[in-house]
Amino acid sequence: MKSGNIDRRNFLSKSISACAVTCIGVCNISALSAMGMDTQIENHKFDSIYDRKLTQTQVIIKEYCNFIELIKVLQKNMNNKEVIELLKKYSYEVGARFGKNQSKNSPDNSFESFVRNFRPPAYKNRLSLKVVTDTPKEFELKVTECIWATVFIELGLAGEIGHAAICNMDYSWPQAYNPDIRMERNKTLMQGDLYCNHKYIDTKKKL
């Protein structure tokens, strides 16, 4: 935390509440306008838009609007290292929660059941990917386009910040789904590489 007698817990609580109430700054004006979204305020219910069709990019911005604002608030009040560590913890918990819920709703938590989620046409509107390896013990993807990376790069939140906020959840997700599944990766679009190389490995030994 930067200088000042701001209690960290109270500060984060107020920041999160403020972001939950309204989307300001980059979400309402810069990002949404840049993506072609109408930001005009309707003053009467008859002027409200009944059916607004959004692009996939606009949907992501809408979904992450509060989170993006929170990151920017944190950047103004904490040093970069603290922000990254906090985002890593948050995204790791998000991934773990997602993996557990997905496992509960799946027929089983086998390796095959998990990697089936990534086989085309899965994520066809949000990722451009190619299956590189597909065996009973290994499954590797080459992702050349990622809508999350595209949005965060456009908003100036890529690199370590974007990786901590979004990509880090990819590690806890498979292990929460099944403790025997591990992900390896050393390239990400978010960090400036030409592609992401997600490799999922079934570490369970045969009896």
pLDDT digit string, tens, across residues 63-114:
999 999 999 999 999 999 999 999 999 999 999 999 999 999 999 999 999 9
Tell me the whole-structure pTM to 2 decimals. 0.75
Length of the chain: 207
- Residue, of 10 and 147, whose pLDDT is higher: 147
Instruction: Give 135-171 pLDDT, tens digit per residue.
Output: 999 999 999 999 999 999 999 999 999 999 999 999 9
The confidence score (pLDDT) of residue 49 equals 63
Quote the CA–CA distance of 80 and 74 in Å, as a whole number. Answer: 9
The confidence score (pLDDT) of residue 34 equals 46
- In the chain, which residues fall in CATH 3.30.1380? 80-207
Sheet containing 138-146: which strands, arranged edge to edge? Answer: 127-134, 138-146, 196-202, 181-184
**Closest residue by Cα to residue 146 from 196, 192, 71:** 196
Token couple for 135:
């065996």
The confidence score (pLDDT) of residue 50 equals 59
Q: How confident is the model at residue 116 (pLDDT cuts 50, 70, 90)?
A: very high
- Give 80-207's CATH code, choosing from 2.60.120, 2.60.40, 3.30.1380, 1.10.540: 3.30.1380
Reported as type and span, the H/E element at residue 132 is strand 127-134
pLDDT score of 9 more than 80: no
**Closest residue by Cα to residue 15 from 6, 5, 2, 3:** 6
The confidence score (pLDDT) of residue 43 equals 73
pLDDT score of 3 more than 50: no
* Three-state SS at 140: strand
Instruction: Give 11-70 pLDDT, tens digit per residue.
Output: 444 444 444 333 434 454 444 444 444 545 557 877 766 567 889 999 999 999 999 999
pLDDT score of 117 more than 80: yes
